[in-house]
Amino acid sequence: MRTIAIANQKGGCGKTTTAVNLAAALAEKGNRILIVDLDPQGHATIGLGCEPDGLDKTIYDALTNPQIAISTVITGTNVEGLKLVPSNVLLSGAELELANVLGRELVLGEQLRAVSDEYDICVIDCPPSLGLLTLNALIASTDVIVPVQVNYYAMEGLKQLLETANIIKVRFHPCSVKILGLLLTFVENRIIFSGQIQQQMREYFGDLVFDTVIHRTVRLAEAPSAAESILTYAPESRGAAEYTALAEEVINGRLSAEERINDEDEAEEVVDSQPSEEGASNDENVAEEVVDSQPSEEGASNGENVAEEVVDSQPSEEGASNDENVAEEISNVEI
Ligand SMILES: Nc1ncnc2c1ncn2[C@@H]1O[C@H](COP(=O)(O)OP(=O)(O)O)[C@@H](O)[C@H]1O
Ligand SMILES: [Mg+2]
């Protein structure tokens, strides 16, 4: 089983939207997919039509009680081939409860190992912090996708996240997590600045940036309110096409330069054949409203905060020396 964490300590950059729609797109291609909601806000849970307050068991139980196997927490969704490990607000207590548990960073990975034969790909929706939950996700994963909202603060915190992934790979053997790619989200063609940021990201990070980008569209913002993925909510929409393209990049790996050129020709054709005009302009107007109603970057943290969070989430019990080194290395990372 491949395990892909969707992580960025910033809130509101498109993690949950990416986790849900990528998982649905991968399932639509016939893969057996498990999505783990690792955020106490439970947005992926809600977005997939599961009522978080009425749940018998959630990821919280599987993380804090070794007697509860994750297989007993898994529930169905309205997407064929997609199963969910749900979450709710109780999960916010898990970091504290795990504080004195030896091997607290490894719990999720151990739980997932038990179901690894039943799924092709597991997608983990991380919370907006670099605390113990996200560490669990990174250590349990083979790949990380980092959604990056294309705005002035796009680079903020990215270096810390990339360094953290590298550090834990060394420290938590046999963890083999790698950054699969940075996914540019909330891209807006009409805004020149959006294009500039995109160009800068590609110049700075090169091939690490996915070819596929996710545009800001109202359909993507609406889909969770219908408890559906974009693939069924608006199958003909740009968002559905883009998350399907992302799923293809994830499955097939990166395109060669030659394939990329061919692909660009095709992309132009797709753009030309967009239902565009009326529908699109309508979409764009609403998109502007969406801009204004964006949640503020609650989880946004600068590098220092990230390091502090990691430090704070580590207790000084035996077995913690490993973690302390990690925290120290993270806090030494240049910003
Ligand atoms: N491409 C997009 N276009 C428009 N709205 C989006 C897009 N991606 C996400 N959103 C909306 O922006 C908000 C934050 O996205 P979300 O995926 O929840 O971010 P995160 O999980 O990183 O906090 C949500 O209301 C979501 O519906
Ligand atoms: Mg989220």
Is 233 close to ligand 1, i.e. is its CB under 6 Å away?
no
* C-alpha dist (Å) from residue 128 to 92, 101, 131, 317: 12, 23, 9, 26
Q: How far is it, in rounded angstroms, from Cα 309 to Cα 130?
A: 7
Q: Is the pLDDT of residue 160 over 80?
A: yes
Buried b or exposed e, range 90-115, using 16+ CB within 10 angstroms: bbeebbeebeebeebbbbbbebbeeb
Q: How far is it, in rounded angstroms, from Cα 145 to Cα 250?
A: 10
Q: Is the pLDDT of residue 218 over 90?
A: yes
Q: Which of 148-162, 187-201, 314-328 has the lowest mean pLDDT?
A: 314-328
Buried b or exposed e, range 292-327, using 16+ CB within 10 angstroms: eeeeebebbbebebbbbbbeebbbeeeebeebeebb
Is 221 close to ligand 1, i.e. is its CB under 6 Å away?
yes
Q: Is the pLDDT of residue 263 over 60?
A: no
Secondary structure percentages of the chain, helix, strand, coil, to 5: 50, 10, 40
Q: Is the pLDDT of residue 69 over 60?
A: yes
CATH architecture of 2-303: 3-Layer(aba) Sandwich (3.40)
Tell me which residues have their CB within 5 A of the ion that is ligand 2: 15-16, 43
Is 14 close to ligand 1, i.e. is its CB under 6 Å away?
yes
Q: How far is it, in rounded angstroms, from Cα 214 to Cα 217?
A: 9
Q: Averaged over 139-163, what is the pLDDT?
A: 93
For the chain, what are the domain ranges?
Answer: 2-303
Average pLDDT along the chain: 82
Q: How far apart are the CA of 148 and the centre of ligand 2, in A?
A: 13
- Tell me, rounded to whole angstroms, the distance of Cα 247 from its chain centroid: 13
**pLDDT, tens digit, 9 for 90 and up, residues 3-40:** 999 999 999 999 999 999 999 999 999 999 999 999 99
Q: Is the pLDDT of residue 142 over 80?
A: yes
Which pLDDT belongs to residue 54? 85
Is 104 close to ligand 1, i.e. is its CB under 6 Å away?
no
Is 217 close to ligand 1, i.e. is its CB under 6 Å away?
yes
Other CB atoms within a 10 A radius of the CB of residue 256 amount to: 9
Q: Which residues pair with 184 in a beta bridge?
A: 148
**pLDDT, tens digit, 9 for 90 and up, residues 274-320:** 444 444 444 443 333 333 333 434 433 333 333 333 333 333 333 33
Q: Averaged over 126-154, what is the pLDDT?
A: 95
CB distance 131 to 87 below 8 Å: no
Q: Averaged over 190-202, what is the pLDDT?
A: 92
Q: Is the pLDDT of residue 62 over 50?
A: yes
Q: How far apart are the CA of 52 and the centre of ligand 2, in A?
A: 14
Is 219 close to ligand 1, i.e. is its CB under 6 Å away?
no
Question: Of the candidates 13, 92, 7, which has an alpha carbon nearest to the alpha carbon of residue 295?
Answer: 13
Q: Averaged over 248-274, what is the pLDDT?
A: 59
